[in-house]
Amino acid sequence: MREYLNENTLFATVAMYVQETSALVLVVEGDDDHLVLKHHCSSDLRLIAGVGGREQVLRAATLASRRNLNGVRFLVDRDYDDYTFSDNEYEQNVCVSRGHDLFMDLLSGNPALLRRVIDVHSASVRRRPKESHLPVPDPTSIEQEALELASRLAAVRIVNVRRNLSLDFKRFSFGALNVRDFDTRVIAAMIMERSGYGPEQTAEVVQDSAQVFEEIQGRHDATVGDHDLFSALARVLRRYEVLVRDDVLHRSFIIGVDCAALIAADWFREIQRWCARNNRKGFTCREGTLAA
Amino acid sequence: MNQIVLRLVTASAERVLGEYDHSFSIPPNDEFVILYGPNGVGKTKFLEIIDALTRLSGFALSSLPFESAELTYSDGSVLSVMRLAVSNEDRAELAEPSFSVRFSLKRPGCDPFAWDYEDDGFNDMVRKSLPYEQITEFLWQDPNDGETLHIDELRARFAHRIKKREQNTPQELEDFVKLVPSFLIETQRLRIEQFALQSASSRFGSARSSRKPRSRITEQAEKIRTLLNGAQTEHSRITQQLDRTFPNRVLGSTPRDLDSDSIRERYNSQNDFRSRLGRVASVALDDELSLPQGELEGWELKLLNIYLDDANQKLAPFVDLLTKIELLENIVNARLLNKQLQVTDGEGLSVHHTATGRPIALDSLSSGEQHEIILMIDLLFNVPRGAVVLVDEPEISLHVVWQVSFIPDVRRIAELAGFRFVVATHSPQIINDEWDRAIRLGPPEAAFS
């Protein structure tokens, strides 16, 4: 059914809602963003989740802007917009994540969040170590290992965007990757092969990806996507016999999101200012609060 | 008779439900407008007011909650109505206030004209003194025994109980509203509206009538069957007339500038039409004649030309009808899941399971399917050419996929059937990419930045 809901129906839904309510409306990309934010919204700020992804939300924002629909903001992930060499101009009613996506912004806003998730899920294995298993490192080390692994895939994604390759990333999974293959070149080669590219172009992309990986070192929040991070984290944890699925890690992170993480995000403050200009409360989090 | 039909340009109503002023305009070269707004602002009432005004239904307008309304048309004509409270001492005992209705008509180059419709109190009398309850605008039912009577029947029986007499609508207004037809499609499209009035031998005598409901979809099937049978009758009449004079016309015809290619083209086109028609109507069609190869002789061209002219006339009663039937099948069959709708002159409408061919009773279709079929048939076959169609909440019972297709489908029908339309909706999917034609009805919006 989702294919029959488009930017026009999303815009019409938002417009019909905004016109009949005294609340402001924040449109987010999907269910996960909705889940994170809904417990932190006052009754002055209503959330609507788009169903067609970022591009649909952005097109609906353009329709709203052209038709002068006030009372609504559209919150989207930046993704790899900064790497496309194109002049990405967002409508004035669009709030964009500073990093790759909203989750990465929350992660950088409160780094302790992900470490708590790792700690909770690895605790039982850490308490009962087995000789045959690798010792479980501390959560910070695991986090760094996961971020580095996810960055290797991020490098390939950036090359994909820059070269407009339309690579099929769905056919790649960290779960099937051996530890010895935690390597940008290996990952790039696998994705190229599974996307039907020949050896010549593969060699170029492999080389390019390795170079990009070096360039983006230390800029995880801007380059790593949340889904890649949780997939990489699940794979790294499995290395230490901590068996937990990526979606479970993702959910755990959502549960843990607190006001400290939200308040640190640029888009959060931008939305709060917009709500204040309209004499509305917006989010319930306030500076200095720990939880909503 | 071809009658000039005026196009509705603007419509407005003041103090709908006592507090809302509504209006919209349809640009002269546009086909439709969409109305939306919150519940409780009188979108449905607005449509009902427009419909009742174009039907000069003083009775309906007297009971609708508004103060005044005005419709302007493409030639500058303005038809308006005011609803005025009546102070009547004779009816002071009635709990609800009574209203009279003043119609006004201004036509370019003519003196303005006004007419007061005053409720004669008959309905109030029925409500107060008789056991009947109103179930539609015109039908009343006695809940004790189910007897259903049309308002005219009630008047015939009980008009002597009231003092005032019913007024006749002035001819000037009657003539005008024939130029501005409207057609209201209500939300309750499946409601049983048809009542077969049958004489019943009961203690109530022959005037007593029993209520025999028929579903709307069955009625629509019957309507299609009647249209096809009517076309067949007309076809037979024309055929008899033309066949009688055919030899004389052949012998008396004068040579014309004819060529084989154009004759063959017309011949093939007619054969295509016959094969399409043969699928829905069992009309006696001439066997296909294979034309001789090569260049046709002069006498052959002359004969075939008259034959083709005649055939055109014979098939004419089916042309519009078949186009509409094919569009109906096309639209409905694109929606139905594992079912196929077919129009035939025997049953009117029939539905079969696509895989097994098993017939499916019309009444057993889902409410959404019935809604869709009834609506499309109404639009294709029941709307007068040039009318403004008022569709209230078409989204009811429709899956979102059907909702998204609704406006494009109705536009196709409107182009063929020659009407314009107004849709009142709560559905973003109905509006879809037509937001620029959507007009909000309701209180002022909150001002946001």
For residue A84, give both structure tokens.
């496309």
Confidence of residue A74 (pLDDT cuts 50, 70, 90): very high
Please state the length of chain A. 292
Average pLDDT over residues B402-431: 95
- Inspect the interface and report whether the beta carbons of B432 and A9 lie closer than 8 Å: yes
Do residues A194 and A219 both lie within one domain? yes
Q: Which of A16, A24, A72 sits opposite B428 (nearest CB)?
A: A16
Write the DSSP assignment of B198-252 as a string of letters.
EE--STT-TT-EEEEEE-HHHHHHHHHHHHHHHHHHHHHHHHHHHHHHHHHHHHH
A179 domain-assigned: yes
Task: Decide if A291 is inside a domain.
Answer: no
Q: Is residue B302 part of a domain?
A: yes
Q: Which residue has the higher pLDDT, B94 or B402?
A: B402
Nearest residue of A to residue B36 by CA position?
A16
| Confidence bin at A79 (pLDDT 50/70/90) | very high
Measure A268 CA to nearest chain B CA, in Å: 17
Residue A285 domain-assigned?
no
Confidence tier at B260 by pLDDT (50, 70, 90)? confident
DSSP letter assigned to residue B380: I
State whether residue B40 sits within 8 Å of chain A by CB: no
Query: Residue B254 burial by CB count (10 A; 0-12/13-18/19+): exposed, middle or buried?
Result: exposed
Look at phi and psi of residue B166 and say left if phi exceeds 0, alpha if psi is from -120 to 50, else beta.
Answer: beta
Q: Which chain A residues touch B401 with a CB distance below 8 Å?
A: 1, 4
What is the Cα–Cα distance from A209 to B280, expressed in whole angstroms? 65
Only one residue has tokens 């008779």, namely: B1
Let me know: does A24 contact A274? Beta carbons within 8 Å. yes
pLDDT of residue B285: 59
**Is residue A292 pLDDT above 70, yes or no?**
no
Give CA–CA dist A180/B69, Å, rounded.
80
Is the domain of A155 the same as that of A90? no
Residue of B nearest to A14 (CA): B428
Query: Chain A residues with CB inside 8 Å of B38's CB?
Result: 20
| Same-domain pairing of A152 and A84 | no
Buried b (16+ CB within 10 A) or exposed e, B205-243: eeebbbbeeebbbbebbebbbebbeebbeebeebbeebe
Residue A46 DSSP SS3: strand
- Mean pLDDT, chain B, as a whole number? 86
Return the pLDDT at B303: 86
In chain B, what is the greatest distance between 2 CA atoms, to the nearest angstrom? 90
Shared domain for A132 and A206, answered yes or no, is yes
Residue B239 covered by a domain: yes
B185, B375 contact by CB (below 8 A): yes
Q: pLDDT grade, residue B95 (50/70/90)? A: low
Whether A221 and A242 map to the same domain: the answer is: yes
Report which of B32, B101, B99 is spatially closest to residue B421, judged by C-alpha positions: B32
- Report yes or no on A203 lying in a domain: yes
Name, in order, each residue with C-beta under 8 angstroms of B120's C-beta and a sequence gap of 6 or more: B162, B164, B165, B166, B167
- Per-residue pLDDT, averaged over B165-170, amounts to 74
Q: Are residues A156 and A177 in the same domain?
A: yes
Q: Is residue B350 part of a domain?
A: no
Whether A290 is covered by a domain: the verdict is: no
Q: Examine the pLDDT at B288 and tell me if it is beyond 50.
A: yes
Closest-CA distance of chain A to residue B63, Å: 28
Could you say which of B400, B401, B435 has the minimum Cβ distance to residue A67?
B435
Q: Is B101 helix (H, G, I), strand (E, B) or coil?
A: strand
Both tokens of A180, joined, read 């010895």
For B:384-423, CB contacts with A below 8 A are: 400-401, 404
- Within a domain: residue B270? yes
Q: How confident is the model at residue A22 (pLDDT cuts 50, 70, 90)?
A: very high
Residue B119 lies in a domain: no
Q: Which residue has the higher pLDDT, B74 or B161?
A: B74
Q: Chain A: residue nearest B433 by CA?
A: A8
Residues A132 and A80 in one domain: no
CB contact (8 A) between residue A9 and residue B429: yes
Clarify whether residues A61 and A137 are in a common domain: no
pTM of the model: 0.84
Contacts of B47 (CB under 8 A, 6+ apart): B35, B184, B390, B392, B422, B424
**A191 inside domain:** yes
State the DSSP string of B173-206. HHHHHTTS-EEEE-S-TTS--EEEEEE--STT-T
Cα–Cα distance for residue pair B144/B131, rounded to 1 Å:
8
Q: Is the pLDDT of residue A37 over 90?
A: yes
- CB count, 10 Å around CB of B302? 18
Give the tens place of pLDDT for each residue, B171-222.
999 999 999 999 999 887 655 444 443 333 333 333 444 444 568 899 999 9
B435 touches chain A (CB under 8 A): yes
Which residues of chain B neighbour A73 with C-beta distances below 8 Å?
Answer: none
Which chain A positions have a beta carbon within 8 Å of B440's beta carbon?
A: 19
Nearest-10 crossing angle of helices A246-256, A112-127: 130
DSSP state of B381: I
Q: Does the distance separating the beta carbons of A18 and B448 come in below 8 Å?
A: yes
- Could you count the other beta carbons within 10 Å of the beta carbon of residue A153? 26
**A46 and A71 share one domain:** yes
Whether residue B71 lies inside any domain: the answer is no
Phi/psi at A47 (5° precision): -100, 140
**Which of A9, A19, A278 shows the shortest C-beta gap to B449?**
A278
Distance between CA atoms of B152 and B156, rounded to whole angstroms?
6
Is residue A65 one of the residues assigned to a domain? Answer: yes
Q: Give tens-digit pLDDT for A208-260.
A: 999 999 999 989 989 999 999 999 999 999 999 999 999 999 999 999 999 99
Its domain, for residue B238, covers: 233-316
| Residue A94: domain span | 2-100+259-277
**Is A16 in contact with B36 (Cβ distance < 8 A)?**
yes
Residue A265: closest CA among A40, A33, A104, A45: A104
**Closest residue on chain B to A4 (Cα):** B401
Of B394, B399, B378, B402, whose CA–CA distance to B193 is shortest?
A: B378
**Same domain, residue pair A176 and A249:** yes
Nearest to B24 by CA among B445, B437, B443, B446: B437
Question: What is the rounded CA–CA span in Å between residue B431 and residue B230?
Answer: 38
Both tokens assigned to B357: 């061919």
Q: Are strands B388-392 and B148-150 parallel, antiparallel or unpaired?
A: unpaired
A81 within a domain of the structure (yes/no): yes
- Three-state SS for B73? strand
Give the pLDDT confidence score for residue B192 in this predicted structure: 47
Same domain, A188 and A268: no
- B263 occurs within a structural domain: yes
Number of domains in chain A: 2
Q: Is there a domain that residue B312 lies in?
A: yes
Predicted confidence band at B287 (pLDDT cuts at 50, 70, 90)?
Answer: low
Alpha-carbon gap: A109 to the closest alpha carbon of chain B (Å): 28
Cα torsion angle, A209, A211, A215, A217, sign: positive
Q: Which of B428, B442, B449 sits opposite A9 (nearest CB)?
A: B428
pLDDT band, residue B338 (cuts 50/70/90): very high
Count the domains in chain B.
Answer: 1
* Strand B32-36 to B420-425 pairing: parallel
From chain B, pick out residues whose CB is under 8 angstroms from the CB of A1.
Answer: 400-401
The letter for the amino acid at B349 is: L
Distance between CA atoms of residues B143 and A82, nearest Å: 73
Residue A234 and residue A120 share a domain = yes
Q: What is the pLDDT of residues B136-150, one digit of tens each?
A: 777 888 888 888 888
Cβ contact, residue pair B448, A1, below 8 Å = no
Q: Is the ipTM of this complex over 0.90?
A: no
Q: How far apart are CA B188 and CA B171, in angstroms?
A: 33
Q: Which two tokens mark A50?
A: 């788009």
Q: How far apart are the first and last CA of chain B?
A: 57
Under 8 Å between Cβ of A83 and A109: no
In 3-state terms, what secondary structure has residue A195? coil
